[in-house]
Structure 1
Amino acid sequence: MDLLLVRHAEAEDAGNGGSDFERQLTAHGHVSAAEMADGLALCVRNQVALWSSPLVRTRETAAYLATALGVEVSSYHDAIPAGDLGQLRHDWQSLSPQPGTLIVVGHQPHLGIWGAQLMGISLPVKKVSVIAIALDRSGTGGQLLWYAQPVALARLGQIRHQG
């Protein structure tokens, strides 16, 4: 199974009086999430499961992915904002049938830490960037398939709409 770790798009500042849970995407965040989702749709060809953190900014980012990929978010997973890779691993190993690709929309620093734990390398995880990992059979490690920053995904999205 391939695991795609996707960081949410730009969100409102935490200091706007609301809770961290309720922070929404900015206008720029909505645009960049849509562009990323369009580009990512060109990179994923097999059956997809889409999981998201329950926080508003990740739910909004995941909604763009769901639309672009023609799927629904199958889980709003509390282990994502908690940073609990062990629980996530247990849950993805329990999926039946196993999807070809599991997309997890989450937060920093957890995504970067998980990538390093699974692959043994650290990558910058900017907003709406994606790390694609080919998990080993045990699901406890993997190898980097590809990594894309927002600009590359936006350009792929433009190609998708031109073709």
Structure 2
Amino acid sequence: MQLIVLRHAEAEPGGDQDANRALTRRGVLQAESMGRQLAQSFDHLQVVASPWLRAAETALIIAASTGSDVGHLDRLLPSGDPVSVAQALEPLWCDDGALLVVTHQPLCGRLINWLVEGVADPAPVAPCSGAQLSLEWPAAGMARFPRWLSADLSPY
């Protein structure tokens, strides 16, 4: 399966624990760009996101580009635990599909590291960036890292 672990697009300034921060105009453009990239790479994409506004908005914009529905997982909050997230993803797993997970920092970097390296060390992940991983099951150290994804909108 292909698993895409993505940090939400750029959000309005505010506290990291503010669940109601919306995307900025640039964030909307980032999500649209990522949606186009993913639509070109995958015929169908299953999408799950944190219920917090900035992640939910990112997921909805991407889903519109890919013709997908969006589900929400409370475990995808910034303080989430990679092991708990993997357990929540298990029912969504299929051998031949692609699953997009839209979450926050520091969980995004910790989840990527845990899946690839087997340790949940934090790693920096820019807004609307993340990793496309190949794996048979969501478990520690089981993923291969085929490519990094970014919605870079330079020169903004």
Q: Tell me whether the two structures share a fold, i.e. TM-score over 0.5.
A: yes
2:33 is matched with which residue?
35
Q: Which has the higher helix share?
A: 1
Computing the radius of gyration from Cα coordinates, the structure with the larger value is 1
Q: Deviations over 1:109-148 (max 9, x none)?
A: 111111111112986411111301112x342121102112
Once the two structures are aligned, what percentage of the paired residues are identical? 30
From 113, 122, 127, the counterpart of 1:116: 113
Letter matched to residue 142 of structure 1: A
What RMSD, in angstroms, separates the aligned Cα atoms of the two structures?
2.3
Give ranges in structure 1 of 5+ residues lacking alignment. Answer: 156-163
Letter matched to residue 26 of structure 1: T
Q: CA deviation at 1:79?
A: 0.3
Q: What is the rounded CA distance, in whole Å, between the counterparts of 1:125 and 1:138 in structure 2?
A: 23
Higher relative contact order (CA 8 A, sep 6+): 1
Query: CA distance change for structure 1 residues 39 and 95 in 2, over 3 Å: closer, same or farther?
Result: closer
Q: What is the rounded CA distance, in whole Å, between the counterparts of 2:93 and 2:151 in structure 1?
A: 32
CA contact (8 A) 1:49 1:99 kept: no
1:139 is matched with which residue?
138
Number of positions where the alignment pairs a residue of Structure 1 with one of Structure 2: 147
Letter matched to residue 91 of structure 2: S
Letter matched to residue 85 of structure 1: P
1:126 is matched with which residue?
126
Q: What is the rounded CA distance, in whole Å, between the counterparts of 1:119 and 1:52 in structure 2?
A: 20
Q: CA deviation at 1:58?
A: 0.6
Q: What is the rounded CA distance, in whole Å, between the counterparts of 2:61 and 2:85 in structure 1?
A: 22
- Which runs of structure 2 are paired with 1:8-157 in the superposition (5 Å)? 8-14=8-14, 20-45=18-43, 47-73=44-70, 75-81=71-77, 82-95=79-92, 100-120=97-117, 124-135=124-135, 137-140=136-139, 141-151=142-152
TM-score when scaled to structure 2? 0.83
Secondary structure, counterpart of 2:83 in structure 1: helix
